[in-house]
Amino acid sequence: MVSREDRGVALGRMGTLVEQIHDLRREGREVILVSSGAIGLGVERLGFDRRPVAVADLAACAAAGQGTLMGLYDTFFSRLGERVAQVLLTEDDFHRRSRYVTLAATLERLLALGAVPLLNENDAVSTDHLAVFGDNDRLAALVASNIDCDALVLLSDVDAVYSAPPGEPGARPIPLWSEAEQVRIGALSAGGRGGMGAKIAAANLAAGVGVNTVIASGYRPEVLGRIFRGEEEGTLFPAGARPNRRRRWLAHATAPAGTLHVNEGARAALVTGRASLLAPGVVGVEGEWEAGSVVRILCAGGEVARGLCARSSAEVRAEIGKQGRGRALVHRNDAVILEEE
């Protein structure tokens, strides 16, 4: 939404978005804005003919474009009497529990002070520009999960999720999402990393942790106002039950240091019995980690759970095959079950 097809700045769309956020704020709502666009603006600013592919060039474009992006938003918000605060994020802000908690505290404090946090991935220093968050839709979903948001709106260039790429015969908008929907996704967006597939994945993530999520068109006038008035707009992903913040972090925001392969008995104990994982149930270990690291728990190739391993990978390997129950490798209070019963 920030960049035009000719890589220029879409000032009209930016201004309209800011005005809608201002209207929501006047209604007493707290708003966080996650906005891409830094790399695209940097491409123009540094004189590239097209978006580069080299990591160093992407980082340079992000560094050059981020100031422009923030400056434009600051100008728009300031003219409406709003204060904006920039927060640039990297993968470590989610993978590390201490930084995850600090991020939540920072955002909640900014909201309490009456500021609009403006978030973006810090592409200038991120270690992998194509696989950290994947896209700003996932980043937005992770933030919404972290700070107990009531709603998340993912703005797109189409007015809803369609059963097939819009324009194809038989393509229909889906007003209410369910897991039974069969959707054929089109190509990735040309200007960035996302697309409808990324938006659906992010919406499912957020809805799965208790955040009502809507995918709608950012080009439709007053789209945010209509959504928050309860009018039918875009595609609604209804919120499910909300796990506690620690379990949300384990399930979605962490980067596992390794993998524990378990047998069917251990899988059943975890999924059905909600028991802790003991050493006799482990049949294989992948990776190297220290005690207290996050690990994946797999059975027959499928991810069963994720949790904090009480012992290092070397200690786990030493225990495999030994008799006796011993203390838990992954305690049930430190695990989140990902496989449905």
Q: What are the pLDDT digits (tens) for 36-49?
A: 888 888 998 899 98
pLDDT of 11 reads 86
Q: Is the pLDDT of residue 211 over 90?
A: yes
What does the pLDDT look like over 274-301, one tens digit per residue? 999 999 999 999 999 999 999 999 999 8
pLDDT of 132 reads 46
Lowest mean pLDDT among 139-148, 177-186, 234-243, 314-323: 177-186
Which residue, chain included where needed, has tokens 């603006």?
41
Could you give the CA distance from residue 323 to residue 316 in angstroms, rounded to a whole number? Answer: 13
> Is the domain 11-247 a CATH 3.30.70.1400 member?
no
Q: How far apart are the first and last CA of the chain?
A: 41
Residue 251 carries which DSSP code? I
- What is the bridge-based pairing of β-strands 294-299 and 282-286? unpaired
Lowest mean pLDDT among 36-50, 216-230, 256-270: 36-50
| Confidence band for 194, pLDDT divided at 50, 70 and 90 | low
CATH number of 256-337: 2.30.130.10
Residue 334 carries which DSSP code? G
pLDDT of 36 reads 84
| Confidence band for 186, pLDDT divided at 50, 70 and 90 | low
**E runs forming strands in the chain:** 33-34, 83-89, 115-121, 151-156, 212-217, 235-237, 258-262, 282-286, 294-299, 302-308, 335-337
For residue 33, the tally of other CB atoms under 10 A from its CB is: 16
In the chain, where are the structural domains located?
Answer: 11-247, 256-337
Q: What is the pLDDT of the chain when averaged over all its residues?
A: 89
In angstroms, what is the C-alpha Rg of the chain?
22
pLDDT of 188 reads 40
| 93-102: burial string, b at 16+ Cβ within 10 Å, e else | bbbbbeebee
| 161-175: burial string, b at 16+ Cβ within 10 Å, e else | bbeeebeeeeeeebe
Residue 260 carries which DSSP code? E
| Predicted TM-score of the model (pTM) | 0.87
What does the pLDDT look like over 107-147, one tens digit per residue? 999 999 999 999 998 888 875 544 445 578 999 999 999 99
- 11-247 and 256-337: identical CATH topology: no
For residue 261, the tally of other CB atoms under 10 A from its CB is: 18
| Confidence band for 55, pLDDT divided at 50, 70 and 90 | confident
* Three-state SS at 218: coil
Tokens standing for 149? 């948001």
**E runs forming strands in 90-194:** 115-121, 151-156
pLDDT of 8 reads 63
Lowest mean pLDDT among 188-192, 230-234, 293-297: 188-192
Contacts of 106 (CB under 8 A, 6+ apart): 87
Q: Is the pLDDT of residue 192 over 50?
A: no
pLDDT of 131 reads 45
Could you give the CA distance from residue 249 to residue 227 in angstroms, rounded to a whole number? Answer: 28
